Structure 1
Amino acid sequence: MSDATSMAEDFASGRSDPVQILEQALEKASEVPAVFISLTAERARREAEASAARWRAGQPLSVFDGVPLAWKDLFDVAGSVTTAGAAYRRNAPAALLDAPTVGLLCRAGMVSVGKTNLSELAYSGLGLNPHFGTPHNPHGTDQPRIPGGSSSGSAVAVAAGIVPIAMGTDTAGSIRIPSAFNGLVGYRSSSRRYSRDSVFPLAHTLDSLGPLTRSVRDALAIDDLLHGRTQTHTARSLKGQRFVLAQQDVEAAVRNNLLRAVEQLKAHGALIEERECPTFQATLDLIKHHGWLGSFEAFALHEALLDSPDAEQLDPRVRRRLEAARTLPASQLLHLVDARR
């Protein structure tokens, strides 16, 4: 599958149309297991047909009018249940309204295909889900490989060519990890860049949203649409641009891949500086001695769930992570809050 920018160019030229692309997406989505928790086919067909008419009239709503996208099942989509990847939420009431972020991209003409799978409650970087299945990483051709999480379904939906763009959330790597594992561009925005209203939370002060895409230009275009901008960007030369490469202990294969990317930057004139970044180690030491701030917030958010009969339905791994914060002393939380200032 091409990226969304190329797809929209095909819409503009008449080489393809949103209805045709949507039907291909729905067909593929039904063939690839565990990627979607639910499909919004009826809504998507209405949106695609309206988009096709706008393109025929030469009046698209945006550069991505008609482009299909998927939503991590933390975003409220009107008429659909937001499961958060949890079995106990299967029968929760359907959302009455779209989350603001969903509404913005809908008003830009994008076509919502469905809601993607994830680690339960978005609380794991592996992407495993015992309730809705685990999406298969398309790059695992020699042996099964984890998709990364927690935005596992969003990453695989893009990597498998179902949609060119999917929206995810990131608290501690949940966009970046699956993007890396699936060879995608993942943009983890700052926490207040986009509205998080009607998005199921994990840790209120750390949660953020962002797209998983097939190209940097697509990620940039989504950022523009979410801020109501319709500008054209011109790529700048990398000549003289300085990049700092942190000196860290990583596996040889990972470092080799990183260095290949660095060589491409150098070939385009970028300046690469390697240096120690003590902040990384200081952060790890802080977590080792005092815990992770997000674990306190996640426990506070889900304490009532853990004390209810529904706790028996939780993935044991997720339940253990949540429970681990129950007995942490308040002094450790204060250390973390103070260090964050």
Structure 2
Amino acid sequence: MTQTHLGKSIAQLSVLIQSGSLDPVALAEETLDAIRTYKDQAIFTRLLEARAMEEAAASSRRLRDGRSRGLLDGIPVAWKDLFAIAGLPTTAGSIVLADAEPAQDDADVVKALKAAGMIAVGRVNMSEFAFSGLGLNPHYGTPLNPLATDVARIPGGSSSGSAAVVAAGLVPVSIGTDTGGSVRIPSSFNGLVGYKASHGRYSMAGVFPLSTSLDSLGPLCRSVQDAIWVDAAMRGRFVPEVERAEPAGLSLIVPTNVVMDDAEDGVVTAFQAALAKLSAAGVKIRRAAFPAFERFFELMAEYGPLVTAEAFVLHHRRLAGPEADAMDRRVVARTRMGEKTTLVGYLETLKVREQLIKEVAATLGPNEFIAYPTVAHVAPALAPLEADDELFVKINGRTLRNTAIGNFLDWCGVSLPCGVGDAGMPVGFLLSAPKNHDERLLGAALALEGIVTG
């Protein structure tokens, strides 16, 4: 079949579907065909061919009968391997859950996008148990970054397959999770828009957890408009509540501490060029130090990371049994570190976290956002990370640094492509706002996207 619709955005496909120029069944067939024949078979852990064709046929009937469910009807979507799909075990990128009890029902957000008419084409790969920002998976293979032209490079994680599948043009959107950067990092590495919603914005029912204090969800896609449409549907709304902001009415705060430490020259150049374009468009930019950033890393050094403590609670029985031998050694090592966090240290971390969230929010004006590079480097080469566990730990920490700040401070965030750095690989521009300011954030990102990416 001639592949004429791959690589398009949701908005582009929606125009064709709603006008009758593209049948959802034909699009589903084309999509599945492309997935089956794509050179990198590590992207998907499970294709949902029968379900996809059934949902596409239902969408086609609705459209013929004039009963469209809206702009997302007939649009393919891929799901990270930790969202429950009825009739299948939820494996979370791990082989130890391959024989788990099948889910009785879809996750709530899977149901929500099905209700909007979207077509679930499959589950995509991820870091095992979502516990790495790099995206390596020794069980199902590591998806390769589709934009790398020199050497095999990582996709970023933990939503590795979610980024690779969109960057490869196989689907227009994939839904990932973000506990320390797992939507924004792979979006940055693959030149995509990645929206991490506020913690608690969507139902987490049917989503395999990592850290209940930090877990959040979001789409990886080709435009902010696409993210806005998907966000509305994930909350059961068919009309988005986001209004495009005016660039001249926006103000950005660029932190002067932590986030630019050890940044690659190419990342710095791309980010500064984006700031210059924003300033020329009337966006106000000021620079300020955020003492809360250092306090966050001091807390981690003193008591251990919050995510590690909560991951250990989740997996401690698994780690004490034979299943640990079948897990990624790097995930096992990192998770076991959570045993060192005492109850006092855990509670103190939560207390200080709340103080820092309020402290930072109080420093922001009514229409101010925080801006800095999503990651301080571009996607690194895969082979050295597979060969050297010490290097893996070092690069994983560096990769997660900038985005993890936002999870700890309970921000929502959007990573926008803002040019390229070393080896011609994409650089991400991270725009963040306090919790539950998602509509403002998305409205600002909608206004700034064309300037930053242009």
The alignment's TM-score, normalised by the length of structure 1, stands at 0.96
Pick aligned residue for 2:246 from 233, 237, 256: 237
Q: Structure 1 residue 201 and structure 2 residue 214: aligned?
A: no
Higher relative contact order (CA 8 A, sep 6+): 2
- Tell me how far 1:266 sits from its aligned partner: 2.4
Pick aligned residue for 1:51 from 43, 54, 59: 59
- Which position in structure 2 is the counterpart of 1:61? 69
- Which position in structure 1 is the counterpart of 2:411? none
- Tell me how far 1:221 sits from its aligned partner: 0.7
Distance 1:113 1:275 in 2: 45
Q: Structure 1 residue 101 and structure 2 residue 109: aligned?
A: yes
Partner SS, residue 297 of structure 1: helix
Structure 2 residue ranges without an equivalent (≥5): 1-6, 355-454
Partner SS, residue 254 of structure 2: strand
Q: Structure 1 residue 40 and structure 2 residue 53: aligned?
A: no
- Tell me how far 1:111 sits from its aligned partner: 0.1
1:199-241 CA distance string (max 9 Å, x none) = 1011111111111111000111111112232336553321131
1:273-292 CA distance string (max 9 Å, x none) = 12222222221222122211
Distance 1:92 1:228 in 2: 29
Structure 1 residue ranges without an equivalent (≥5): none
Letter of the aligned partner of 1:35 in structure 2?
Answer: I
- Tell me how far 1:297 sits from its aligned partner: 0.6
Pick aligned residue for 2:96 from 77, 88, 97: 88
Q: Structure 1 residue 337 and structure 2 residue 389: aligned?
A: no
Partner SS, residue 273 of structure 1: strand
Letter of the aligned partner of 1:263 in structure 2?
Answer: A
- Tell me how far 1:198 sits from its aligned partner: 1.0
- Which position in structure 1 is the counterpart of 2:304? 291
Partner SS, residue 253 of structure 1: helix
* Number of residue pairs aligned between Structure 1 and Structure 2: 341
Distance 1:236 1:302 in 2: 43
Partner SS, residue 196 of structure 2: coil
- Tell me how far 1:244 sits from its aligned partner: 1.2
Structure 2 contact 192–223 (Cα < 8 Å) conserved? yes
Partner SS, residue 78 of structure 1: coil
Q: Structure 1 residue 184 and structure 2 residue 192: aligned?
A: yes
Q: Structure 1 residue 175 and structure 2 residue 183: aligned?
A: yes
Distance 1:78 1:55 in 2: 26
Distance 1:327 1:12 in 2: 55
Letter of the aligned partner of 1:206 in structure 2?
Answer: L
Distance 1:83 1:166 in 2: 17
Structure 2 contact 45–123 (Cα < 8 Å) conserved? yes
- Which position in structure 2 is the counterpart of 1:316? 329
Partner SS, residue 128 of structure 1: coil
Pick aligned residue for 2:279 from 257, 263, 266: 266
- Which position in structure 2 is the counterpart of 1:131? 139
Q: Structure 1 residue 110 and structure 2 residue 118: aligned?
A: yes
1:160-202 CA distance string (max 9 Å, x none) = 1111111011111111111111111111112210000111011
Distance 2:316 2:248 in 1: 52
Pick aligned residue for 2:27 from 21, 26, 39: 21
Question: 266-275 or 133-142, which moves further after superposition?
Answer: 266-275
- Which position in structure 1 is the counterpart of 2:376? none
Identity %: 44
Structure 2 contact 91–97 (Cα < 8 Å) conserved? yes
Structure 2 contact 303–342 (Cα < 8 Å) conserved? no
Indicate how the Cα distance of structure 1 residues 251 and 339 shifts in structure 2: closer, same or farther if over 3 A, else same.
same
1:251-284 CA distance string (max 9 Å, x none) = 2221112122223322332111122222222212
Partner SS, residue 274 of structure 1: strand
Distance 1:225 1:267 in 2: 35
Partner SS, residue 115 of structure 1: strand
The alignment's TM-score, normalised by the length of structure 2, stands at 0.73
Q: Structure 1 residue 11 and structure 2 residue 17: aligned?
A: yes
Distance 1:259 1:226 in 2: 34
Distance 2:175 2:12 in 1: 19
Partner SS, residue 153 of structure 1: helix
Indicate how the Cα distance of structure 1 residues 261 and 15 shifts in structure 2: closer, same or farther if over 3 A, else same.
farther
Q: CA RMSD in A?
A: 1.4
